[in-house]
Structure 1
Amino acid sequence: MSRARNEALRPPPKLTLSQWANEFAYLSRETSAHTGKFKSFKYQDGMMDAVTDPTVQKITVMKSARVGYTKLLDHMVGFFIHQDPSPMLVVQPKEDDARDYSTTEIAPMLRDTPVLAAIAGDLSSKAAQQKVEKRLFRNGASVAFVGANSPAGFRRITARIIAFDEVDGYPAQGAGNEGDQIALGTKRSETFWNRKIILGSTPTVQGISRIEKSWEESDQRHYFVGCPHCKARQTLKWENFKWDRDEEGKHLPDTAYFRCEAGGCRIEEKDKRALINGGDWVATKPHTGHAGFHIWAAYSLFPNAAWRFLAAEWLRVYKDPMQKKTFVNLVLGLPHKEVVNVADPDVLKSRCEPYNYETLPSDVRLVTYGADTQDDRIEVTFVGHGAHGEMWVARHEVLHGDTSKPVVWDELDKLIAEPLETDEGRRLIPQAGCIDSAGHRSEMVYKFCRDRKRRRIYATIGRGNPDPKAPRMIWPKTASRTKNSGDKPYIIGVDTAKDDLSSRLAIVPHEFEPTPRAVHFPAAGLSADYFDQLTSEHAVTKQVGDKITRSWVKKAVGARNEAWDCLVLALAARMSLPVKLDKAPPRKPRPVSKADNDNRSLPAIKEQPETKTEERPKRRERQRWGAYR
């Protein structure tokens, strides 16, 4: 046996994780901008040393991006391979993430860290027992990599050290039918008295975030620093983050600084390194074996986390609700608060008002609808629209029947032709509708819309918008230029629509005055579970590598969301119409005869879809309808 191998297999001296990382760890060219020996930031030491603290069994890190957490996870794996050979399990959000982490993070570390390379040997050799999903080492250490979406991934695994990475990105429904991923993984360590459970993630939605829940159960450690001027100990808080303006009021992000909360001193970027080096972690709750850390980008000494860059980022996104949420998650390392209480449908139910689809308020100017198709039913929501985006849910109907047969579609055809009435007697025929064509009875949806394309009935497919920097729209700008053959669906931005509706639902409508963008609900006519369906989803933001994604997903497996989808489709139908209602003059209530109502139409749209088009000259028909296609 070679001397190098003897040295590698000799029991190493007892070290803390931060000591080990600063003495033995190397940065690889594939994973770091600067290669060579690793040198930790002071705030990283406290998080690493909790792993080797015998009084700590569980660790929670609620973090932003750009704080170097991934490297800390790498060093934890390296430490237990070299210092304390143990079976380990690393859980990533998806199986692809797990394989990627093993390949792009762990493999280069084993190759470039000398003490680990001596233990691992030639990674390409069959004798090395190296696999992407599980790596075995000659000294008894092992590390398995599992995706949180894999039902079978947690079986036949026993581990002393378990690290859950980006837990807010785990599938909400659990690992298939196996249950919650954190509970499954933790159970794999029950036979070890000295086990370690590590959870790390950027948070997502307040009240739903897994990392937030775990953080609240911890001793909640914050990194305290001393003011370089008055020496007062404090944490860096977003509310104390400032920058100057010029004489014209223009923001100057390059002047970003922190205002000392004790004496009002100005803490500049040039003080940052000394500030961090002189800081320490302080627990704000009693310690019971669960250490919790919150760290955000202002503490980071990476060049791309300079305070001037953080200020510039905020000024770029603060007017955009979706990008603002992303900033809160990925820069501040905090869960964002949804604009509506997504956990309690009673919040919306309590706002129901005394109207129905036959007594809509006089402010309603036009009606659209959205329909969701299932194998055994069609669900339809009719929505009234008024000035400045105000909306009134008019009715939600469920048409039961086999949607592969024409009977239920005939019922839908009759339903969407029925007029709704205002309390002053005006009759409103639905002006446009969207029917979801994805997943269930697509061909039947296409046929239904193809036969009625002059009535603004659109087959649609929803597409998410995972990239917060991508353009966002609910109704595609190219819709009016696309040949509507009936079997070419309109692609609507469902995530954007849900973001928009979420902000609307947060607005409490005024009972007697117009409330722009508010959504009203009728006191009668909605099913018992309507509001449960309306609050069945939440938005999740996560970071996988350098990519930031955000999407709306169900909060619980099997939850029904048809009411939510129908409202989204009704909003998309409204966006398809070029009619502007903001300047529409208010209508005065007056008695109207039934004969007048039969011939009445909206002032903004001069024709009703049910008008017999064959009685008009074809050229004139194309000109009139073309304006609204």
Structure 2
Amino acid sequence: MICRKEPKGLNDYESKEDSEGRNMSSEKLRSREKTRKLFMRCIHKSLSRPERLTVSQWAEKYRILTDNSALPGRWSNAITPYLVEIMDSFNDPYIQNINFVKSTQVGGTETLINATGWIITQNPSPTMIVYPNDELAKDVSNDKLKPAYQKTREIKSRFFQTKSSEKNLRFRGMNLYLRSGNTPAALASKAIKYLFFDEIDKMAGATKKEANPYNLAVERTKTYGYSKKIYTCSTPTLKSNYIWRFHERAEAQKYYFVPCPHCGEMIILKWQQVRFQNDEDNKMTIEERAETASYYCQECGAEITDSEKRAIIRQGEWRDMKKTCREKPTSVSFHINALYSFFVSWKDIALEFLRSKDDPEELQNFINSWLAEPWEDTTVKTSEELVMQRQAEEPQGVVPDWAVMLTAGVDVQETSVYYDIVAWGAEWTSQSIIHGQLLSLNDLEMYMNAEYKNSSGEQFYVNLCLIDSGDQTTEIYAFCLRHEWAIPVKGIDGGNNHYRVTKINRKGAEYDGQQLILVDGGKYKDSIARRLQKENGIGSCMVHADCDLEYAKQLTAEHKVAEGSGQRRRLVWRPKVSHGDNHFTDCRVYASAAADICGVRTIGLYDANEDAAEETPHKKSSWINGY
């Protein structure tokens, strides 16, 4: 019996005839099939309708957050619903300028990443991101942008990583340039359609030779006319800086309104509505006070809990508060603070405020970085009239009943000596009880050794006196060595601490090894100026009822002005009038530093030791022995 063999499979490389009678191997068949499928995919892609997504839709569909994110995984607009309209502004053909005034922890950088991701995948065009300095540009490139682009598949397939550098990321059809605001030449060489500024308020200003970095970079967008997009984003610093000026100039100023879960009224979340328990008796720690914090609706007064906050934020909407633009705006500014963050509770915000309220620098950070408001330096508003409004009921030489200690500050001039003796109480409450001008240091003794009393006849002495040793240094060192209540002081510019204790290094001198206090006067001037704004009472900076106008003029003889540019730009104290007297300002600064050294910050914090402290509360301080 003859068996008929079955034909071999294609893998056996047996030839077969095609439709035209030609033999073809299985390898050629597979190659032709691949070609056919590729051709069909190309035809399908070219004929299919292109995917049209807004930035927020693209982010929710494609964006993957890295493991360094608070919530790694797929992006969800429900976590930060207030970012949706900001992101979709990039899709509005009328809007050219998008400004985002923000606090920390609200997703400003993520908005930028989502927008650039949409550009890379949906509308490849030359793009530039400008950072305050070169180091930050490189750090963000390596730590945030590259990991984010590699994590998201749709971007990774277009990312030419091996051909990219830290500051020039190459993608299919476009380049993404990262530049520094400190290098003007790098901002003036590329035509750009999408321009981003991250933390623009930390960027340098104009110089004598160059326009400011913002204007230089914006010049690069002229080629794209009305299709360009310029995005500025930052926590604010001062009203005069970029982000707040753009906010005020924008045709539409938008704030995020949320519905009260109790009355239904649409409200803006404001810091003033966060309430927590008062502690007039100083029996609670700041953590305990922060635990009591909650938000109370400004319309109905009902409490809004942290758990309710998430729900109302998802129901929120942006509303234009300026309402002056009749047509569709070309520039829009969005403002939002940390109260809207899903990652920050009412307690967190209250705790940050309580920690920073007594330090002007820390308070400025709270106002800028948490409330997203510009810092208004209160020193600009100080005047001798304001000082005279701080006159208390007690006449000269009388200690107020709330006082716990006395300190003094002395400013030594070539021909005379100025002094100020100040009473101190809880929460930095202060009041000058006597001040004046003397002919010599020796005349100080009768005032520093004098006995002062309050209305109840309680006795007080000067705990500590700091004497400026910038002039007549040797004589002052010797004087302080002879008097236990006096320590020499020198002013320093800047530094992390309000004051620092060091020692005099004069080999062979009798005062070699004697203590010397280095004081950052600017920090104490900030505190004095801010407390002058408070009405008489707890936390205020006051003077006695017989205070003269000359003292008031000298106490407000300086104001804070901006000097320098770029990273060197800073606020410094300068006399309002050239060669104007400010001796009593220095005296009050030194008296404040002396109170700080003597523990004014802890007044009222240790009630458990109150009875022990009352045994000898007003005798001369022995704090020096502790160093």
Aligned to 2:17: none
Partners of 2:195 and 2:236 in 1: CA distance: 20
Q: For residues 365-404 of structure 1, what are the alpha-carbon distances to aligned partners after superposition, in whole Å with 9 as ceiling and x for unaligned? A: 9874489xxxxxxx99985423336689999xxxxxxxxx
Q: For residues 490-520 of structure 1, what are the alpha-carbon distances to aligned partners after superposition, in whole Å with 9 as ceiling and x for unaligned? A: 653355234234336657998982569x963
Pick closer, same or farther for the CA change 1:479–1:211 going to 2, 3 Å. farther
Partners of 1:96 and 1:565 in 2: CA distance: 41
Aligned to 1:385: 420
Aligned to 2:347: 308
Q: For residues 423-475 of structure 1, what are the alpha-carbon distances to aligned partners after superposition, in whole Å with 9 as ceiling and x for unaligned? A: xxxxxxx983354xxxxxxxxx9xx957985366766643323xxxxxx4x33
- The alpha-carbon deviation at position 108 of structure 1 amounts to 0.8
- The alpha-carbon deviation at position 106 of structure 1 amounts to 1.0
TM-score by length of 1: 0.63
Aligned to 1:184: 216
- Superposition pairs of residues 577-616 of structure 1, within 5 angstroms: none
Segment drifting more, 36-45 vs 269-278: 269-278
SS of match in other structure, 1:305: coil
Q: For residues 333-390 of structure 1, what are the alpha-carbon distances to aligned partners after superposition, in whole Å with 9 as ceiling and x for unaligned? A: 2224322227xxxx6488899xxxxxxx999x9874489xxxxxxx999854233366
Aligned to 1:587: none
Aligned to 1:462: 493
Q: For residues 566-618 of structure 1, what are the alpha-carbon distances to aligned partners after superposition, in whole Å with 9 as ceiling and x for unaligned? A: 998766655677999x9xxxxxxxxxxxxxxxxxxxxx99xxxxxxxxxxxxx
Aligned to 1:154: 187
Aligned to 1:67: 106
Q: For residues 175-197 of structure 1, what are the alpha-carbon distances to aligned partners after superposition, in whole Å with 9 as ceiling and x for unaligned? A: 67423232232223223212112
Pick closer, same or farther for the CA change 1:432–1:230 going to 2, 3 Å. closer
For the pair 1:166 / 2:215, whether they are aligned, the reply is no
- The alpha-carbon deviation at position 154 of structure 1 amounts to 2.3
Aligned to 1:138: 172
Q: Which amino acid aligns with 2:378?
A: V
SS of match in other structure, 1:91: strand
Aligned to 1:502: 529
**How many pairs does the alignment contain?**
494
Aligned to 1:270: 307
- Superposition pairs of residues 438-457 of structure 1, within 5 angstroms: 453-454=477-478
Partners of 1:185 and 1:383 in 2: CA distance: 53
Is the Cα contact below 8 Å between 2:505 and 2:512 reproduced in 1?
no
Q: For residues 60-104 of structure 1, what are the alpha-carbon distances to aligned partners after superposition, in whole Å with 9 as ceiling and x for unaligned? A: 111111111111111122222221112222222222112111111
Is the Cα contact below 8 Å between 2:524 and 2:593 reproduced in 1?
no
Is the Cα contact below 8 Å between 1:18 and 1:48 reproduced in 2?
yes
Pick closer, same or farther for the CA change 1:451–1:33 going to 2, 3 Å. same
Q: Which amino acid aligns with 2:499?
A: W
Question: Which protein is bigger by CA-based radius of gyration?
Answer: 2
Pick closer, same or farther for the CA change 1:494–1:54 going to 2, 3 Å. farther
Aligned to 2:316: 279
Q: Which amino acid aligns with 2:468?
A: G
- The alpha-carbon deviation at position 278 of structure 1 amounts to 1.4
Is the Cα contact below 8 Å between 2:98 and 2:231 reproduced in 1?
yes
- The alpha-carbon deviation at position 164 of structure 1 amounts to 1.7
Pick closer, same or farther for the CA change 1:482–1:255 going to 2, 3 Å. farther
Aligned to 1:298: 339
* Residue among 48, 59, 69 paired with 1:21: 59
Partners of 2:573 and 2:134 in 1: CA distance: 21
Q: Which amino acid aligns with 2:493?
A: G
Pick closer, same or farther for the CA change 1:383–1:55 going to 2, 3 Å. farther
Q: CA RMSD in A?
A: 5.3
- The alpha-carbon deviation at position 162 of structure 1 amounts to 1.7
For the pair 1:536 / 2:561, whether they are aligned, the reply is yes
Is the Cα contact below 8 Å between 1:86 and 1:142 reproduced in 2?
yes
Aligned to 1:476: 500
Structure 2: runs of 5+ lacking an equivalent: 1-34, 389-395, 399-406, 424-429, 445-464, 481-487, 536-540, 601-618
- Superposition pairs of residues 114-263 of structure 1, within 5 angstroms: 114-121=153-160, 123=161, 125=162, 128=163, 130-139=164-173, 141-171=174-204, 173-174=205-206, 177-193=209-225, 194-205=227-238, 207-218=239-250, 219-242=252-275, 253-254=290-291, 256-263=293-300
Is the Cα contact below 8 Å between 1:434 and 1:573 reproduced in 2?
no
Is the Cα contact below 8 Å between 1:28 and 1:109 reproduced in 2?
yes
Aligned to 1:553: 570
Structure 1: runs of 5+ lacking an equivalent: 354-360, 372-378, 396-415, 423-429, 436-444, 466-471, 524-529, 543-550, 583-603, 606-625
Q: Which is helix-richer, 1 or 2?
A: 2
Partners of 1:538 and 1:506 in 2: CA distance: 25
Q: For residues 153-184 of structure 1, what are the alpha-carbon distances to aligned partners after superposition, in whole Å with 9 as ceiling and x for unaligned? A: 4232332222222222234x546742323223
Partners of 1:223 and 1:23 in 2: CA distance: 25
SS of match in other structure, 2:332: strand
TM-score by length of 2: 0.64
Partners of 2:573 and 2:188 in 1: CA distance: 23
SS of match in other structure, 1:61: strand
Q: Which amino acid aligns with 2:123?
A: D
- The alpha-carbon deviation at position 208 of structure 1 amounts to 3.2
Partners of 2:178 and 2:411 in 1: CA distance: 47
Pick closer, same or farther for the CA change 1:224–1:279 going to 2, 3 Å. same
Q: Which amino acid aligns with 1:155?
A: A
Partners of 1:380 and 1:97 in 2: CA distance: 52
Partners of 1:83 and 1:234 in 2: CA distance: 36
